[in-house]
Amino acid sequence: MTWLNWSSDYPFGLRIDNFRLAASVFLLPDSAHPETPRLKNGIIQPQFRVVGEGVIPFSLTIQPIVEVSADKVVLRGRVMNLSVGLKHEFDARLTGDIILTLFPTTYDVDNPFSPRDISLQRMSVELKGSMAVSLDKVGRQTIPFSLSFPVAMPASDSINQIFQVLQPPLPKPWGDGNPLGATPALTTPVDFSTPAREIETAIASHLPFGAVLSLDHNARPAISLAPGRTSPDLPPLSYGLKADSAIWTGHYLTAEVFRYATTSDPAALDRVKYLVSGFKRLYDVTTDAAVVDGRRMPVRPMPGVLSRTAWPSTSKIDYTEGSLYKQPCYYEKPEGGWEVISQQGTQRFASYAEAQRALNATASQPRIPTPQIPGAPRPPSLAQPQVALPIVRPVGTVWYGWGCGGDHAVSRDAYVGTMMGLSFAALLIPDAEVKQTASQLLEGALDHLLANQWNFILAPYDRIRTSYFGNYDMQLTFLRIGKTINPQKYGPVYDHFAPASQLTWIQTWFTSIDPVSKYYKFNLSMAYVAPLLFLEDNLDLRRNYMVAYNILRRATAHHKNAYFDLVRILIETPDRRAAVANSPPDPPGASPVAAPLKEQIKTVLAEWLQRRHDVAAQDGLPMNIIGPPGQKLQVDLWTQNQVAVFTSAGYDTSDGASVGKRYVSKYALPVWGRPGDGMDFAWQRHPFDIAVHFQDSVRPVCAVTPPTLEEVQMCGSDPKREGPGVDYLLPYWLAVYLGVLPK
C-alpha cells in the first residue's frame, strides 16, 4: 500500500550555517618531563544551525555530540518533531539525527569573488530518521526518512589541531630511553675538515644560478627501480628539488656565513656574495611578467615576492620535472627588456607593463601581415610565417621563476629558510654590499607582510595564496630580524607585539605532540628559532621563547640530529654556550646516554660521513640511496623485533594509504641506516624511518614484511638523485663556529 506519493515544484533549500568548533584543552604537568605538559583531555564543543529555505522555512540550532573514528570525525545532533510539511497539503514532522562527518581530505580552489584562494575540507551532511505524516482520510503514518549530500568547509590549521586533541595520549613520545638509540662518544679520531673542503668544491655543480638544487643522474642510476627501463627523453643530468630551492639556499647561505665568521676565508665571502645574488634574482624574477595558462600579464610592482627557483633560457641543463615555461603559471623577466614591433618600427621597454601599454596603443591600428619577425630570420627552404603586427617579445636571456597563481604558490617554508640565511648574512658579514643587499631583501619581504596583514599577494591576479596570519611565532621572528637590521623602522612594531612571546609555546606544543609525522616541521622550526634567539637580548623575552623552544627540544633531543643539537648551543648567550656543549643533552631524560652534547654531535656527523662513504657519487656527494650496511640494518630491525606501527596524531595521510599509519623503528637509527629517499637534507627526515611502507598500491612489493635486502634497496632509495651536501656543511660550520670542532 502506498501511503504517500507526492511531488511538487515548490522551491526548497537546506543549508548549514554558523558552524563553529570550539576546543578546550586541559594540560597537566609531567613530572618526568616538566618542560612539556601532557594532555589530560580535550573537549570539543561544536555548534551549527540547520536552515530550511523556500516553502519549508525553519531554523534549528544543533549542539551535537562528537564521535571520533580512525579516519573521520562525526558530529551527531538530535532533531525532534521538526515540522517539514506543507500547509494546505499535508503535515509532516521529522524526528532523527542530523550527522555532519568531517574527513581529513583537503583541496585548494580558486575563489573568483575574493582576493584569497581557499583550502576546503570535505564534509558530508546526512539527515536520517523517521517522518510522521498526517493525511486526510488516512491519518498519521510513520515512514523512514534519509537525505544526504556532500559539502565543503574552509580548512585551517585550527581544525587539524582540534582533531589532534581528540586522540590522547599527547604528546606521543617515540624512541625515548631505548638503549639501542644511544649516541656514545667516538672512540677513534675522525677527520671532519677534509670532507668539508671536498663538499665545498663539489657543491658548485648544485649552484648553477646562485641557488641550491639537487642533481638527477638520468643516464646511469645507482640502482634501478624498474629493471630494463630507461629514460630516453631525459638528458644525462637534470636539476631536482626545484620547489624547495629557496629553502636550501637559505640553509647553505647560513653555513657559508658561519664559515666566513669563523675563518675569514675570501672563498667563503665569495660564496656568500654568490648566494645573496642568487636570492636577489629569486626576488627580482617575480617583478615583471607572469604567464598563466599561456597568457602573459604584467605583474603589479610589489616588493618581497619570492620565487621558488629561477632558471635562464640559456641553460643547457633543465629541471627533471620539465621546464618552468611549461608550468601552468610562471614568472618571466628578460635581461634585455621587451620589444614591441609594429609597422612604425621597433621600440624597446624595460618592463612588460610598459611594453603592453605601447602594444595596446597600437593595437587599434590595422594589422598587416608581414613575412617574418625582424631579427628572427628563417632558412629560405622553410615556409615563412605570417605574423600580424604589432607584437611584443622578450629580448636577450629570459629568466623564468616559479610559484605564482595556483601552481605551487611560493610557500611559507621557502620564506622561513630565506629569512634565516639573509638575516645571518646581514648580521655577521662585514662586507657593505652583502649587508645592503641582504637587508633590502629582508625589508622588502617584511614590508610586504606588514602592508597586507601577514599575507603575500601573488601574481597574476593579486591573490592571497601564502599567509602567516595566525602564525605569531613566525611573525615575531620576522619582526625581530627587522628590528636588528632597521631598529628605527621595525623596533617599535616588534616591541609592541613582543608580549605575545608568552604564548608562542602553544603553537610549539601542537607542533611537537607528534614526533614523526611531517618531520620537516621541526627543521622549519629550527630555521626561525635560531635567528630569533640568536638576536634576542631581552632576558624576559628570551625566557618566554625558551619555554617554547624547550618543548621543541624535548621532542627531538634523542633523534641523533646533529643540526638540531648545534642549534641548541647556538641559541644560548655566548657566555653559556660552552657549558651547554659540555653537558649531557637537555632536557633531562630526553637522551638515553650521558655523553656531552658536543661528543654526540661528533658521533652523528661521523655517521653522516659513513653514509657518504657508502653511497657517494663520483664527485663525492651522497646519492639518495641506502648503502649495504644500511640495508642490512633495515632487515635486522625486523628479525630483532625493533619495528612497530606508529599512528599519527591528527589525520596525517602522508606516507601511507591508511590514515596516519606507518612502520617505524623503535629507536633513532644511525644516519647511515636510514632510507635514502628524500635525504637531500638528512636532518628534515625523522630518524625512525623504515624502507617498508604500511601500504603501497603503486609498488605492492614495498609493503611486504619482512623485507629482503633487495626490497630495502629498491623501496628505500631515490636512485637517480644526488644531494648537494648542505646537510653536512651547515652543521660542520656551526660546529666550528661554536668550538665543537676545531678550525
Does residue 487 come out as left (phi exceeding 0), alpha (psi in the -120 to 50 range) or beta?
A: alpha
State the average pLDDT over residues 496-523. Answer: 94
Confidence grade of residue 374 (pLDDT, cut at 50, 70, 90): very low
State the average pLDDT over residues 443-448. Answer: 97
Q: What is the mean pLDDT of the chain?
A: 87
pLDDT at 407 over 50: yes
Residues forming beta bridges with residue 101, ordered by sequence position: 74, 124
Which element (helix H / strand E) includes 393? strand 391-394
Percentage of the chain modeled with pLDDT above 90: 61
User: CA-CA distance, 718 to 264, in Å (whole number)?
Assistant: 37
φ/ψ (deg, to 5) at 93: -130, 135
- Residue with cell string 502506498: 2
Higher-pLDDT residue of 649 and 12 is: 649
Q: Which of 19-33, 104-118, 206-220, 477-491 has the lowest mean pLDDT?
A: 104-118
Confidence grade of residue 224 (pLDDT, cut at 50, 70, 90): very low
DSSP state, residue 680: G
For 172, residues 6+ apart whose C-beta sits below 8 A from its C-beta are 513, 514, 515, 516, 646, 649
Q: What are the cell numbers at 488?
A: 628605527
Contact indicator for 409, 343 with CB cutoff of 8 Å:
no
Confidence grade of residue 138 (pLDDT, cut at 50, 70, 90): low
**3-state SS string over 51-97?**
EEEECCCEEEEECCEEEECCCCEEEEEEEEEEECCECCCEEEEEEEE
Contact indicator for 637, 659 with CB cutoff of 8 Å:
no
Displacement of CA 503 from its chain's centroid (Å): 23
pLDDT at 657: 40
Contact indicator for 423, 478 with CB cutoff of 8 Å:
no
Its pTM stands at 0.86
Confidence grade of residue 68 (pLDDT, cut at 50, 70, 90): confident
Q: Tell me whether the omega of the peptide bond preceding residue 390 falls within 30 degrees of 0, making it cis.
A: yes
Residue ranges of the domains in the chain?
12-164, 618-722
Indicate the residue type of 232. Answer: P
Q: Which of 289-303, 410-424, 654-668 has the lowest mean pLDDT?
A: 654-668
Which residue intervals of 536-647 are DSSP H helices?
539-556, 562-570, 577-581, 597-615, 628-639
pLDDT at 136: 67
pLDDT tens-place string over residues 207-223:
999 999 999 998 754 44
Q: Which of 165-174, 321-330, 655-664, 674-683 has the lowest mean pLDDT?
A: 655-664
Contact indicator for 703, 722 with CB cutoff of 8 Å:
no
Minimal CA–CA distance to 242: which of 323, 334, 331, 314? 323
User: CA-CA distance, 290 to 300, in Å (whole number)?
Assistant: 10
Confidence grade of residue 382 (pLDDT, cut at 50, 70, 90): very low
Confidence grade of residue 111 (pLDDT, cut at 50, 70, 90): low
For the chain, the C-alpha Rg in angstroms (whole number) is 30
User: CA-CA distance, 743 to 613, in Å (whole number)?
Assistant: 23
SS3 content of the chain, % helix, strand, coil (to 5): 35, 25, 40
pLDDT at 379: 44
User: CA-CA distance, 60 to 82, in Å (whole number)?
Assistant: 9
pLDDT at 106 over 80: no
pLDDT at 375 over 70: no
User: CA-CA distance, 175 to 285, in Å (whole number)?
Assistant: 45
Report CA dihedral (676, 680, 685, 691) to the nearest 10 degrees: -10
Higher-pLDDT residue of 453 and 379 is: 453
Q: HSE, CB side, 13 Å, CA atoms: give it for residue 338.
A: 22
pLDDT at 25 over 90: no
pLDDT at 634 over 80: yes
pLDDT at 367 over 70: no
pLDDT at 372 over 50: no
Residues forming beta bridges with residue 339, ordered by sequence position: 348, 393
pLDDT at 713 over 70: yes
pLDDT at 596: 95
Confidence grade of residue 720 (pLDDT, cut at 50, 70, 90): very high
pLDDT at 658: 46
Q: DSSP letter string over 321-372?
A: T--GGGSSEEEEEETT-EEEEETTEEEEESSHHHHHHHHHHHHTSPP-EESS
pLDDT at 234 over 80: no
User: CA-CA distance, 555 to 688, in Å (whole number)?
Assistant: 13
pLDDT at 446: 98
Burial class (CB in 10 A: 0-12, 13-18, 19+), 318: middle
State the average pLDDT over residues 119-135. Answer: 80
pLDDT at 2 over 60: no
Contact indicator for 340, 362 with CB cutoff of 8 Å:
yes
pLDDT at 740: 98
State the average pLDDT over residues 356-382. Answer: 57
pLDDT at 652 over 70: no
Confidence grade of residue 229 (pLDDT, cut at 50, 70, 90): very low
Q: What number of helices (H) and strands (E) belong to the chain? A: 18, 26
CA-based end-to-end distance of the chain? 94
State the average pLDDT over residues 469-496. Answer: 96
State the average pLDDT over residues 8-30. Answer: 76
Minimal CA–CA distance to 129: which of 76, 90, 88? 76
User: CA-CA distance, 144 to 133, in Å (whole number)?
Assistant: 11
State the average pLDDT over residues 217-245. Answer: 68
State the average pLDDT over residues 221-233. Answer: 44
What beta strand segments (E) does 395-452 contain? 398-401
Choose from 52-56, 408-412, 480-484 the range with maximum mean pLDDT. Answer: 480-484
Burial class (CB in 10 A: 0-12, 13-18, 19+), 369: exposed
pLDDT tens-place string over residues 552-574:
999 999 999 999 999 999 999 99
Minimal CA–CA distance to 62: which of 101, 9, 99, 87? 99
State the average pLDDT over residues 176-181. Answer: 89
Minimal CA–CA distance to 385: which of 393, 398, 374, 394? 374
pLDDT at 674 over 60: yes
Burial class (CB in 10 A: 0-12, 13-18, 19+), 289: buried
Confidence grade of residue 470 (pLDDT, cut at 50, 70, 90): confident
User: CA-CA distance, 19 to 46, in Å (whole number)?
Assistant: 8
User: CA-CA distance, 339 to 358, in Å (whole number)?
Assistant: 10
Does the CA dihedral 113-118-124-127 come out positive or negative? negative
